[in-house]
Structure 1
Amino acid sequence: MTSIGRMGYSDSDATDGLGFIYKNNSLLYEASLMIGASTTQVSNNTRNDSGAADQHFAKKIRVYKEDDADVAFTGISEFDDSLSPKPINITVKNTVRAYSNSPDDKYVITEYELKNKSFNALSGIYLGLFTDWDVDKNGNDIALYDVFNRLGYVTSKFGGTSYAGVKLLTTTGIPIFNPMSYEIVGDPLEDRNGFSISEKFLSLTSGIKSTSLGENAPNGYDVMFVSGTDLLIFLQMVR
């Protein structure tokens, strides 16, 4: 985990971190947080349309380990979106938990608790993770969504690889699943570097855009996806 919301790597180009390692293979290239309020206001640390990544989150409390007898690891950090040119004015407490015993050793839980720093109540806020799983090193992937389990995942078009994905644990909000690939004409990622703020907000607000991507392509695609939920409650200011 990191102190700025990313998972796997602290930097956007799969550096400064271990990724997500399973059976000695790192399956993850990017996992980054996006919190959207409008087409011009998305606080995030995801790849952008200038060949780099947005860096909107500022560290407030560096990651620290908390003792917890029930889990193998509990890490906590806190950051806000004060580095955004158009901040929503929120603070995020990020808690990550990992387990050592089977079958719970095959996942980690990441929790984002949002607090409003402004003097106005907030509504219509969306939160999602952009993930780029590399389970097939040749990019012959398919992305699928299990509606019942609120689980988006990626595996190889031709089998023989791991399955990796993100499951939404809350049941109070409307789930989001938006699969994408730069190999598809008209896709937000079509030119590899074209993920603008407005496109990020659209990816957060499209609900379940599709339950699969790459299944009907002969070789699949190099797929990514956004998964998350809308925040139905108003975020009241913290005094």
Structure 2
Amino acid sequence: MPPPIALIYGAGPGTGAAIARALAPTHALLLMSRSLPQSISRLALDDLPQDRVYAHKYTGAASFGEAIKAAQERWPGAQVKVGVCHAGVPFQPGPFLNKSTEDFKECLDSAVQAWDFSQAVIPALLAANGGTLIITGATMSRRAGANFAAMAGASFARRALAQSLAKEFGAQGVHVAHVVVDGLIATAHVDGMMGKAEPGSRLEPSDIAEVYLDIIKQKPSAWTQELDIRPSKEKW
């Protein structure tokens, strides 16, 4: 039997790649982003079996279904058992009166993408007799700070989507979880902007990935719908 497929949208060189690495021993990896497959080398997954990795470009709503179809042709008989929507909300902070409607719409598009992703993944999970769908959130998924009006609405919408889907599809074997990532993630990009940080003040991508793996392994009698994770020194 071929391994089950894990679809990761927002597969970048930080947390997305870490989630892929955590799932690699048990799943075939279907990776998506706007820059894939051209940027696959940035994910540093060369040590993984390359016949278990397939990268597909995100070009809009239809590309999710196209990627699933292509992956199942690549791995005949394989079923999608995991979907992770990790692509974040565009970074658009700033005073409300300085932001435009277009800024707001750009942020809201991340909620539309989570919607499109879920509409493609849930039928595949149902066809596989269940599986896990995880949507990544942020601190502003639950509380909106000053100067984050353009971003917070989209984050709230993604959280609401995850909650609604969990209630609609849980009894059919689809575990939908929303993960609030509360704090800065220790990536090369963040380190380059803000400098190195002391231990315990930033989230490590590999540790985030372990949390996602724990969610995927949960038994149906004790599913998590939402959890929040933060480094030990984060103020909250």
Give the alignment's TM-score, normalised by structure 1: 0.33
Q: Which has the higher strand share?
A: 1
Bigger share in helix? 2
Give me the TM-score of the superposition, normalised by structure 2: 0.33
